[in-house]
Structure 1
Amino acid sequence: MVLPLVPLPSSVTESTGALSLTTATRIIVENDADAAASVLADMLAERTGLRPAVTVDTVQPGDIVVRRTTRQGEKYSLRIGEEVQLEGSDAGLFYGIQTLGQLLATDGEGGRLPHVEIDDAPRFSYRGVMLDVARTFFDVDTVKAFIDRASSLKFNHLHLHLSDDQGWRLQIDSRPLLAERSSTTAVLGRPGGFYTKDDFREIVRYASTHHMVVVPEIDLPGHTHAIGLAYPEIVEAPVMNDGLLAQSSALEQPLPVAGEPYLGWGVGHSSVKIHGGATWEFLRDVLTELAELTPGPYLHVGGDECLGTAQADFDSFIERVTALTTELGKTPIAWHEAGSAQVAEGTIGQYWGSTTPAGTHADDARRFAERGGSVIMSPSNTAYLDQKYDADFPLGLDWAALIDLQTAYEWEPTTIVDGLPSEAILGVEGPLWSETIETLDDIDQLIFPRVAAIAEVAWSPAETREWVSFRDRVGALGAVWDAAGWEGHRPTEIAWSAR
C-alpha cells in the first residue's frame, strides 16, 4: 500500500491491519492538549461526518489519544494500532494531525487508519510560501484559504508581498494616503484594495492557529511606483530599461508614468529617493507601524530589481534600512541582491536566482552568512509557483522556467550556492507571484501539486527524497485534496487516486 504522506516523515514503519473510526471513537486529552484535540475533532467531523467526543478518561481500544509534551520544536510521534497515540508539542501535535488526515480513508460510515508508526521532525526550521497581494489583491478569506492549504503540508511561514509598483495593501495610520491613493488598482486594471489593521491582525491570528508566522514585506527601494501616487515627493521619476521596453511592447502593456497607476508588470523602473530626508521619515513611520502589527520576528524589506538605482546608492539604502529594521526589534529579510551591501548583522537573505547562479548571485547570497545571517532558498527555476507547468498552460509566466512537478521536486537547497555552509540555510520558500491570477481557483491551479514538492524539499531528510516515491505518494494524496475542494492541476504523468 502506498501511504499518501507528503512531506515524507523522517521515519515510517508500516504493519498490517487498520483501525476503524466509528461512533464509539473518542479523543482522549492528556497534558492540556485541548486545542489540538479540538482541531482534530473538527477535521474528523468534516472528513467522516463523525465528531468524536473529546474527554479525559481511561484509554480504550479505538480511542485517539492526544498527548501534549513540554519538549520544544516541531517533532511529533504517531502510533496507530488498537488505538491512536499522537504525541508532541503544540506545533508537533498540529503537524501530526495533518499526517493523520492524510492517512485517513473514508467509506461513508466513518473512516479507517492504517496501522503505522511514525516519528517525524522537519529538516529546515523555515518552511515558507509567499502570496503576492500587491499585483493582484486577495481578500482576507482568500488569504485564510491559502493558509489552510499551506499549513496542511507543514509550511510554517506566510510571506505576504504587501507593496509593489501596482499597489500598496496595508493601512498605515501615519500615512493615510497610502490606503486612499496607492491601493485603488492592481495589475491590468484589476480591482485594488487594502487590509485594514484589523484585517491584518485577523490574518496573523488565523495564521497563528495554523502554526504559521506572518512575514510582511514592504519592497524597497524599488518596486515603489505606487507609493508615488500618495507621496510623490519621496519617489524618483520612472527610469526605463531595455527589458521593460521590450516587455511592454510584446505584451501591449503601458509604460509607467509618474503620478499615474501602473497597470503593467514590468520591473526595475522605480525607486524611492535614496538620500531624501522625507524618504526616511516615511520609512520610519511605515516600518514602525508594521513592526508593531507583526508579532513574528521578521520584516522583509525587499531589495530586488533596482535596475535604475546606482550601485552605491542601493548599497547605502540597504545598509540603512536593515539597520532601521533591527533598531525596531525585528530581523530583516532581503532578496539576495541586498548581499552586495553591508547589511545589518544577522540579516537573512532570500535567494531567488537560478539553481545555476548567474553573475554575482552566489556571492551576494554568501555574504549574508558572512555577516552572521542565513539564507532562505527560493530558486526561481524550481521553487517559483507562478511559473507555467508547460508552454500551453493558461496561467503563469515562463521567464524563469517551465516547471513541471518533477522539476519542482528534484533540487537540493544545499548544492546551489558554492561555499554557503549547509547550516547557514535557514529554509525554503515557494513564492506565488500574481500577475496572471485573480481567484482562489487560479491559486489552486498553480500551487497544486507543486507546493507539495516544495513542502517535501523543506521538511524531509535529503537522503530519503526520491521522485518515484513522491510521485506515487502525491497521487494518493490527490483524493484528500479533492475532498477538501482543492482541485488544482492534475498532471497526467501522476496516477491520481480516488481513494
Structure 2
Amino acid sequence: MNTTDHLIPRPSHVALLDGPAYTLASTARIAADPGVPVAGQLAALLRRATGFELPIVQETHPGDITLELEETFDGGPEAYALTVTGSGVMLSASTAAGLFNGVQTLRQLFPATIEDTEPGNGSWVIPAVEIADAPRFAYRGLMLDVARNFFTVDEVKEQIDVMTQFKFNALHLHLTDDQAWRIEILEPVENPSGLDYANLTALGGKGAVEVPTAVPVRGNSGFYTQQDFREIQAYAATKNVLVVPEIDLPGHVNAALAAIPQLNPDGQAKPMSTTAEVGWSTLNADLPTTYEFVREVLSQLAAITVGPYLHIGGDEAHVTTREHYIAMVQEFVRIGAHTGKTVVGWNEYAAVELPQGAVIQYWHGDFAPTLQQAEQNAAKVVMSPAANSYLDQKYSSDSPVGLEWVEGGPFTWSEYYNWDPAQGGLQDHHILGVEGPLWSETVRNNQQAQWLLYPRAVSLAEVAWSGPEVRNAGDFRRRLGALGERLAKQGVAFQEAPDVEWSAASTWPFVVAAPSSSPKYGTIEA
C-alpha cells in the first residue's frame, strides 16, 4: 500500500504527484547545510538498514536527498515542505526544527524495513508526493515521572528517541515528590540557615515508591547530577525536544521534609515514605526557611535549564490551608519568574495572581480559574485532562501495570484521540499545547513505560499536531495498525489494542491480545 496512507501525525496537505517514484540508490548522498544535526541522524538511520554510504555533502546532484534551510520559507518555525520525485527528495524549512519534523515524515514514507537494524536487500522506494505541513499547537509533550521510579539518563534518551518520531517536542520531568528527590542541588555560597542541600539526593535519591501489585514492588532509586541533567537536555536538543523540569510545591514534598529538618516546624526530619498515597505533605507558610529553600532550589534549577519553562507543581496540596496555599504559591511564582523563566504549574495554581504569559497545565477539577487566567491574563494552557491524556491509566482492570482512578476507564487509544483540546471556552490561541503524563507508581522500566505509552501517545501526537479537519478516528485506526511493524522492528513495546489490525506483534512477550476479547496478561519480568 502507498506509504503516504500511513503517515502519523496526519500532515496538513498531502498530494500524490504524477511521475515515477523515488528509489534510494547506493550512489545517493544527503545534501545539507553544515550544522543541521538531523542530516546525520537521517544518514545513520538509512545507512543501518540499507548498507549504503550516503555521505553528507553540501552540493546537490540528481538522486540525492536535500535538506534546505530557507530564511524566506513561510509557515511557521516548525513547518516544512517535502517534495519527492523520481529525481530526488527536497525538504525545506526555515529552521532546524522544521527540517527535523520533515525528516520524521520522510522516515515514514520509506517501507517499514527501513527500521531494520542490519542491512538488507529491501527496495527503498517512496512515492512521488508533495507534502506541506505545520503543527496545530507549538507544545507537544510527554511527562515522565522519574520521582516515584527513577529512569536513568540512557532510559530517558531512549524515550526521547521513540517519542520524537511522532513530532513530540517537549519532555516534562517530574523530578521531586513525597517518595524521592532526583536532582542534585549544590551547596550554595550563601546558606543563612545552614540547610543541607546535599542531603536531598543523599537521602532522597535513595527513595522510591512501593506498590504491591507492581513488578518489582519497589521502584528504582537514583538521581541526576546537574551534569546528567545538562546531558539529557543536550541530547534532547538534537531531537528538537526541550526539557521542562518540575519541582512540585507546596505539596508532594515529603522527600524534602525528610532530608532537611529545618523545613519542619518542630525542626525534626520526617521519615522517608514509600506510599503511593497523595496530598498528605506540605511546606509551612510561616517558616522563613521555606522561602529560602525554594529560592535556592529554583534558582539552581533555572540556571541549568536551557529551555524557557520552570514547572513549580502546585497540585494536590490537600493538607495545606487555602490561606497558606495562596501565600506560598504566590511567592513561589514570584521566585520562579525572578529566575527569568516562564513559570508553569498544575491548574490549582491558577488561584493565585500569575505573571503575564504564565503557563497553566490543566489536568483535573474546576476549569473556570484556568479559563479566566487565559482570557483575562494572557495565560497559556497546556491541556492534560486526565481522561484524555493520562498515559498511566490501565487498558483493562486486570492489567499488570497502570492505575485506574480516572473515571471512564479502562482506556485504550480512542479516548486519547477522540477529543479536542479547544474545549470549555478555550480557543486555539489560548492553548500552548498538549501533554500526556506518565506517572510511575506501577512502572519499573522502559519496557513497561512504553507499553503504557504506545499506542495511546501516538493518538495524542496527532491531536497535538494535526488540525481537526484532517483527523478521522477510523482512518487513524488503520494507520495505527500499519505502525505496528515499525514499532516492532525498533523493539518498542506497545499494547495491541484488540480493535486494531496490527501489522506486527508487540515486542513485549507478556501480552497476548485476542481480536475479539480483552487482552490477557501473563507473567511480567522485572
Between 7-16 and 75-84, the greater mean CA deviation after superposition: 7-16
Within a 5 Å distance, the mapping from 1:67-466 to structure 2 comes to 67-70=68-71, 71=73, 73-82=77-86, 83-88=88-93, 89-105=95-111, 106=113, 108-110=120-122, 111-174=124-187, 175-188=197-210, 189-235=218-264, 259-353=270-364, 358=365, 360-400=366-406, 401-415=409-423, 417-418=424-425, 420-466=426-472
CA gap 1:464/1:179 in 2 versus in 1, 3 angstroms: same
Whole-Å Cα distance in 2 between the matches of residues 368 and 310 of structure 1? 25
SS, match of residue 87 in structure 1: strand
Residue 20 (structure 1) aligns with: 23
Work out whether residues 267 and 305 of structure 1, in 8 Å CA contact, stay in contact via their aligned partners in 2.
yes
Whole-Å Cα distance in 1 between the matches of residues 170 and 56 of structure 2? 30
CA deviation string 1:336-380 (max 9, x = no partner):
011112223322100002xxxx4x333345324422211100010
Whole-Å Cα distance in 1 between the matches of residues 276 and 100 of structure 2? 38
CA deviation string 1:33-71 (max 9, x = no partner):
6433212101212333334122233421x3211112225
Residue 19 of structure 1, CA deviation: 1.9
Of 17, 34, 39, the residue aligned with 1:37 is 39
Question: Residue type of the partner of 1:214?
Answer: V
Work out whether residues 235 and 271 of structure 1, in 8 Å CA contact, stay in contact via their aligned partners in 2.
no
User: RMSD across aligned C-alpha pairs, in angstroms?
Assistant: 1.9
Identity %: 41
SS, match of residue 381 in structure 1: helix
Whole-Å Cα distance in 2 between the matches of residues 396 and 49 of structure 1? 40
Gaps of at least 5 residues in structure 2 are: 115-119, 188-196, 211-217, 506-526
CA deviation string 1:62-99 (max 9, x = no partner):
32111122256001111111111111120111111111
Residue 115 of structure 1, CA deviation: 1.8
Residue 282 of structure 1, CA deviation: 0.6
Whole-Å Cα distance in 1 between the matches of residues 474 and 257 of structure 2? 50
Work out whether residues 319 and 344 of structure 1, in 8 Å CA contact, stay in contact via their aligned partners in 2.
no
Aligned residues: 471
Residue 455 of structure 1, CA deviation: 0.3
Work out whether residues 5 and 474 of structure 1, in 8 Å CA contact, stay in contact via their aligned partners in 2.
no
Work out whether residues 130 and 429 of structure 1, in 8 Å CA contact, stay in contact via their aligned partners in 2.
yes
CA gap 1:150/1:235 in 2 versus in 1, 3 angstroms: farther
Residue 194 (structure 2) aligns with: none
Between 193-202 and 361-370, the greater mean CA deviation after superposition: 361-370
CA deviation string 1:99-146 (max 9, x = no partner):
111111138324221221110000001111100000000100000011
Work out whether residues 136 and 438 of structure 1, in 8 Å CA contact, stay in contact via their aligned partners in 2.
yes
CA deviation string 1:437-492 (max 9, x = no partner):
10110011001111100000000011211101111111112211112111321212
Whole-Å Cα distance in 2 between the matches of residues 331 and 477 of structure 1? 36
Whole-Å Cα distance in 2 between the matches of residues 235 and 339 of structure 1? 26
Whole-Å Cα distance in 1 between the matches of residues 453 and 51 of structure 2? 28
CA gap 1:79/1:172 in 2 versus in 1, 3 angstroms: same
Residue 253 (structure 1) aligns with: none
CA gap 1:27/1:448 in 2 versus in 1, 3 angstroms: same
Whole-Å Cα distance in 2 between the matches of residues 362 and 433 of structure 1? 25
Work out whether residues 336 and 365 of structure 1, in 8 Å CA contact, stay in contact via their aligned partners in 2.
no
Question: Residue type of the partner of 1:412?
Answer: D
Residue 249 (structure 1) aligns with: none
CA gap 1:439/1:191 in 2 versus in 1, 3 angstroms: closer
Work out whether residues 59 and 65 of structure 1, in 8 Å CA contact, stay in contact via their aligned partners in 2.
no
Whole-Å Cα distance in 2 between the matches of residues 181 and 58 of structure 1? 57
Question: Residue type of the partner of 2:92?
Answer: E
Work out whether residues 236 and 271 of structure 1, in 8 Å CA contact, stay in contact via their aligned partners in 2.
no
Matched, 1:53 2:26: no
SS, match of residue 312 in structure 2: strand
